[in-house]
Amino acid sequence: MSKKTAKKEVHESKLTTPHNHGKHQNESSKVLVQAKKSQSEDKKELQNPEFNYQPPNFLKSTLVLLAAVAVILSIFISSLALSGQYSFQKDTQAQFAKINQELKNIRNPKPTTNLQQVKAVPEENQSIKTQSILGVEKLNPSWDNFTGSPNNRFSLIVYVDMECPFCKIMHENLIQLQKDYPNLTIVYRHYPLEKIHRNALTLAKASECAKNIGGANDFFRFTNSVFLNQNLLRYKSGLLQIIQNSGMDALAIEECVRNNDTLDRVKYDQQEAMDKLGSRGLGTPTSILFDNGQETNVVINGAAPYPMLKNALSRINSR
């Protein structure tokens, strides 16, 4: 190839290259124009009423009506709930007021013949009967836990479960009764209802432990503390707090209970009650009022109101 021919080819290639680049630019421009045109058409379609759906008027009205009904129903349900809550609170306050009044009557009993003053147990379970209780031992000063003189004419033997709420009421009534009748000796014997009161047996054993450690008076120190703080028994540490509140040696009593040192003593009272009174459907408290001079007795079932206890003493005293 001659030099002239080569130079001619190079010159032609330089001339053709810019021409081809411009052709590609034209094609790109066409593509961009077509894309913009397509976007413009899409926008027109979207603005077209055929593609902008509007719900008919009747459907709008229906939706508004349903919303209004929902609001009315919610307001109605809320008013019912508030009314029920108010009614519940009102009833609860009335019940608490009634309970507080009964507790006041228990703490400050007044001599009266109205037996409705305190209803500790259902009326059909409150009774006083004059009958002979064969085999039930009268006061044994060397064995029993009692307050008052062993030489008194009257003695009231009470079978108690220290976790029983009715025994708590009876205990408070008996404190007042003994103040009014100094010639009355009160005897506490154990009848723990283990199936319904999980702490009953432990409390009975602890009371006897208190007596063994501190003497006869500490039995009633412990008993008073139990009935005064009976609500603490719902807690795991309740028994320990009750012992501490009584001012006695908590560690010594706890060890005595753990070793079952007084279990036989508690079981003796419990077995006597089952053997001699079990056929009567024994519950707690069950009390037997003895006239030690006349060899007669009166049975009192349940947590008798204070007037009923006075009535029992009057009946047995009149014979």
Would residue 297 count as lying in a domain? Answer: yes
- pLDDT for res 235: 87
Query: Domain holding 155: CATH number?
Result: 3.40.30.10
**Is the pLDDT assigned to residue 157 strictly greater than 60?**
yes
Quick: pLDDT tens for 27-79. Answer: 555 555 565 555 555 555 445 444 444 556 666 677 777 888 788 877 877 76
In which domain, by residue range, is 170 found?
121-317
For the segment 139-144, the average pLDDT, to the nearest whole number, is 90
Write down the pTM of the prediction: 0.59
Would residue 116 count as lying in a domain? Answer: no
- pLDDT for res 65: 79
State the average pLDDT for the chain: 74
- pLDDT for res 75: 81
For the segment 218-242, the average pLDDT, to the nearest whole number, is 92
Q: What percentage of the chain exceeds 90 in pLDDT? A: 37
Q: With bands split at pLDDT 50, 70 and 90, how would you rate the model's confidence at 314?
A: confident
Would residue 33 count as lying in a domain? Answer: no
Would residue 211 count as lying in a domain? Answer: yes
**Is the pLDDT assigned to residue 297 strictly greater than 60?**
yes
Would residue 23 count as lying in a domain? Answer: no
Label residues 165-198 b or e (16+ Cβ within 10 Å = b).
ebbbbbbbbbbbbbeebeebbbbbbbbbbeeebe
Q: With bands split at pLDDT 50, 70 and 90, how would you rate the model's confidence at 95?
A: low
Q: What percentage of the chain exceeds 70 in pLDDT? A: 61
Quick: pLDDT tens for 231-241. Answer: 999 888 888 89
CA distance 205 to 257: 6
Would residue 42 count as lying in a domain? Answer: no
Would residue 310 count as lying in a domain? Answer: yes
**Is the pLDDT assigned to residue 92 strictly greater than 70?**
no
Who has greater pLDDT, 232 or 83?
Answer: 232
Axis-axis angle for helices 216-228, 165-180 (nearest 10): 120
Between 100-104, 207-211, 249-253, the lowest mean confidence (pLDDT) is in 100-104
For the segment 86-110, the average pLDDT, to the nearest whole number, is 48
**Is the pLDDT assigned to residue 269 strictly greater than 60?**
yes
**Is the pLDDT assigned to residue 10 strictly greater than 50?**
no
Q: How many domains does the chain have?
A: 1
Would residue 311 count as lying in a domain? Answer: yes
**Is the pLDDT assigned to residue 270 strictly greater than 80?**
yes
**Is the pLDDT assigned to residue 103 strictly greater than 60?**
no
**Is the pLDDT assigned to residue 21 strictly greater than 50?**
no
